[in-house]
Amino acid sequence: MSRPSLSVAFLALSLLDSVMGSAVPCSAGSNGPVPASLAVAVPATGSGRAGKSAAADATSDTSSDPASPSSAAASRGAQGAGRSRAGAQARAAGSTGKTIDHASAWPPLINAREFDKARTLCEGWLGSREPQVLAEAHKCLANVEVADARVRKPENEPPGTPASAPRYVGTGVDRALHHVNKAIDLSPNDLSIHIGMITLLVESSRFDQIPAAMEESLGLYHGPEALDHWLEACGRIYESALYDTALEMYRALEKHYPTSHEVLEDIGMTLRRVEKNDEALAYLEKAVDLAPEDPIDNRSLADAYVALGDDDGAEVHLRKSISVQTDEALRKAWTCDFGEFLEMRRRDRLSGCEIERANCPSERWTACAPRLPDPDLACTSASSR
């Protein structure tokens, strides 16, 4: 579950606090939150790969205010192809005869918190017959409405604020969701709107509505491959320890991606969180069957075997995960873990000591410390033997 999370800042919708974005590019890096508008940066990845150190760092970004200048810049930079497509399609001739890029016209107003101006501008587009223009109007208005729903300000929201503490409440959320649904109807292949919907439900603590929204979005969206983005959305819920909700979301993904080893591994790790270890093991074994060279899948399966007391199975997949891990820092950390496994589970302190000395910080050289009543078991470094 420590697969690199995808850092995504969705500005397509620009939900005031970055709940909605129009572009949805993804790059390996972190799970992040959102733009200055409804475009929200979603944490990445799922449980195994979604729950993890990188993901955890990314989720902490959700406490930042997407409406801040830095969030706005991030969301703009993350818009990507989706945003450019929307911008191209939303161009129309204005009354002045000049070309208007509707997708770019309203976010600056949201970022500057000039909500009255944004409302006036975007309500003026509601008479258009162009679906993309109307979609931009509803994205904009969703951000305007959510401005009235904010209950926590960014300066009062320290890093690590749990998702269970709502950022938005009240009828403003209902009005914003109305506009988001309108935007989805008009532009179902704009992935950022779907992600914005999920993000808004998270930020308003409407967790019971998230699985159904996820299922609906998966049925409506037929754009470019988006599994990484869906996994980011699920990962955000997982990282907030909302495991039952995350599990429902992953199961919805499984219906659409039944042979995805990432989805299966994330389901397995989430099942472990809700103490369904036998079912979890079946998912994790299937993930490894589908991707036998994947380091995350092998490590997650090894951890599951340890939890179930199967040390033989655990050792096989611990060794495998280390051998296929290409990230040197992770490889060293996992090798350190393996040394402790040999010490604690295999009672092989000599081998454990050598591995710990080579890969662990000195405070973790536990296999090398004499333990009464058998102090002679303390190992020496290979160079001294």
Q: What is the mean pLDDT of residues 174-203?
A: 94
* pLDDT at site 48: 54
Higher pLDDT, 50 or 268: 268
- The 3 state secondary structure assigned to the chain is CCCCEEECCCCCCCCCCCCCCCCCCCEEECCCCCCCCCCCCCCCCCCCCCCCHHHHHHHHHHHCCCCCHHHHHHHHHCCHHHHHHHHHHCEEECCCCCEEEHHHHCHHHHHCCCHHHHHHHHHCCCCCCCHHHHHHHHHHHHHHHHHCCECCCHHHCCCCCCCCCCCECCHHHHHHHHHHHHHHHHCCCCHHHHHHHHHHHHHCCCHHHHHHHHHHHHHHCCCCCCHHHHHHHHHHHHHCCCHHHHHHHHHHHHHHCCCCHHHHHHHHHHHHHCCCHHHHHHHHHHHHHHCCCCHHHHHHHHHHHHHCCCHHHHHHHHHHHHHHCCCHHHHHHHHHHHHHHHHHCCCCHHHHHHHHHHHCCHHHCHHHCCCCCCHHHCCCCHHHC
Question: Does residue 379 contact residue 367 with C-beta atoms inside 8 Å?
Answer: yes
Kindly report whether the global pTM for this prediction surpasses the value 0.85.
no
* pLDDT at site 384: 40
Q: pLDDT band at residue 20, thresholds of 50, 70 and 90?
A: very low
As a whole-number percent, the residues of the chain with pLDDT over 70 amount to 67
Check pLDDT > 60 for residue 13. Answer: no
Q: Angle formed by the axes of helices 243-256 and 210-220, to 10°?
A: 20
* pLDDT at site 97: 52
As a whole-number percent, the residues of the chain with pLDDT over 90 amount to 59
* pLDDT at site 149: 81
Q: What is the mean pLDDT of residues 199-205?
A: 90
| Tens-place pLDDT, residues 55-98 | 333 333 333 333 332 232 233 233 333 333 334 343 444 444 56
Check pLDDT > 50 for residue 133. Answer: yes
Question: Does residue 75 contact residue 66 with C-beta atoms inside 8 Å?
Answer: yes
- Cα distances from 29 to residues 7, 26, 95, 199, 260, in angstroms, run 5, 9, 44, 19, 20
Check pLDDT > 80 for residue 49. Answer: no
Higher pLDDT, 107 or 164: 107
* pLDDT at site 373: 53
Question: Does residue 111 contact residue 36 with C-beta atoms inside 8 Å?
Answer: yes
Span of 66-75, 147-156, 222-231, 357-366 with lowest mean pLDDT:
66-75
The number of residues making up the chain comes to: 385
* pLDDT at site 168: 85
The per-residue pLDDT of the chain, averaged, comes to: 76
| Tens-place pLDDT, residues 331-378 | 999 999 999 999 999 999 999 999 999 999 999 999 998 755 554 544
* pLDDT at site 311: 97
